[in-house]
Structure 1
Amino acid sequence: MPSSVPPSFLDLLDRCTRSAVHLETRDVYAVDYERGPFADWRAGLRHDRADRASWWRPWLDVVTEAAGRGVTIRRARVVSEPVSEYTRYLYDNTFTNVAAGEQVRWLPRRRASELALPGNDFWLFDGQLVQWNHFAGDGSSQGPEVTKDPAAVKLGADAFEAVWDRATPHDQYDIH
């Protein structure tokens, strides 16, 4: 009997052979202001560029493995300016994503006004499958939704490429 449980994100990335693209459009995601990585960052902790072992695990290992088998991983972030505190936190830590093998670009929201963007963040795997990421107003995850619907795949692919074309590479984006 087939399972109705959708594949996990890690399963989707493991099955990926060519490309995984991620569009982020929120200025804040659920964060714990009292403890954890965001709280540590707010208290002044910054990753040591020379100490890769201390970086965000296991995500960076997953990215490194996928990139190592030839998967191109691109992430585009649409952000409001001036940026939120959370976006500054993301920016300060993005060098770890890049070191692991991701390409990351930033697009100020004001430059995205003419783009047709989906209502949710998403991942698109090998240009064939979309995982929508649903969030509540407070940024907490409401769970993913996976589809191979050709219209959804086209919407995601077109939206991502439109953002990517306008966006600034991480090493050139001035957050200040």
Structure 2
Amino acid sequence: MKLIQGEEFVDLFRAGAWKRAFHLETQDEYLIADEHEPFRKFLAGEPDDYEWCRSWDTLINEVTSTGKQVHRVRLVSIPHVDYTRFGLTIAPLNIQAGEEIKWLPRPLIDSTELAGDDYWLFDDRLVVFVTFKEDGDFGGFAVTEDPVIAAHCVAIRDKVWGLGVPHADYVESDFAAAK
């Protein structure tokens, strides 16, 4: 595996050859430094200008405007933790930028059928594992084109994508209403 950071990851999105990128998020909470203040504002009920996520949405808009697809499944516990509620407020911005987002409540899948890690999958062949530091902050990415690992991630993607609930349906569902 090759370890990459920052712009190297962004370059994967800008590379011309891929057609579909898929992201699986497996954690209920993320302690990403860039999100500390926006998350604090969310919890306090303060307004947010969402400037902190504009570079991501600009990148997604850039790649999806060329016909590429960016899909994401967020695995979530029921009832939702505060971070999931935060994610539900940000998802419309990501969707407007071109992502297709589905939510997968944990009760709908056997945890043994999942990967233990968050990952990105580009065209069924390139797997980019998201790594985290001991304190929970983002650590970087581990990239592989190992066909066995890729096939495993494809099988997981197909399973969770089929079970996931599209954002618009999810926010109206009993899962989203659970307290």
Give the TM-score normalised by structure 1: 0.86
TM alignment of 1:44-63, pairs within 5 A? 44-46=45-47, 54=51, 56-63=53-60
Pick one of 97, 107, 110 that aligns with 2:104: 107
Q: Which residue in 1 is equivalent to 2:10?
A: 10
Identical columns (%) = 35
Q: How far did 1:40 drift? A: 1.4
Larger displacement relative to structure 2 (10-19 or 122-131): 10-19
Q: Specify the code of the residue in structure 1 equivalent to 2:86.
A: Y
Secondary structure at the counterpart of residue 86 of structure 2: helix
Q: Which residue of 2 aligns with 1:152?
A: 149
Q: Deviations over 1:123-147 (max 9, x none)?
A: 0012210001123565322321100
**What is the TM-score of this pair, normalised by structure 2?**
0.84
1:30 corresponds to which residue?
Answer: 31
- Across the aligned residues of Structure 1 and Structure 2, the Cα RMSD in angstroms comes to 2.4
Give the unaligned 5+ runs of structure 2. none
Unaligned runs of 5+ in 1: none
Pairwise CA distance, 1:97: 0.6
- Residue type at the aligned position of 1:85: D
Is residue 39 of structure 1 aligned with residue 36 of structure 2?
Answer: no
Q: Any runs of at least 4 consecutive aligned residues in structure 1 with deviations exceeding 3 A, and if so which?
A: 4-7, 45-48
Please tell me whether residue 124 in structure 1 is matched to residue 150 in structure 2.
Answer: no
Aligned length: 169
CA distance in 2, matches of 1:39, 1:142: 21
SS in 2 for 1:28: coil
How far apart are residue 35 of structure 1 and its match?
A: 5.2
After superposition, give the CA deviation of every residue in 1:63-98 in whole Å (9 maximum; x if it has no partner). Answer: 000101111010001111001100110011100011
Whole-angstrom distance in 1 between the partners of 2:157 and 2:3: 27
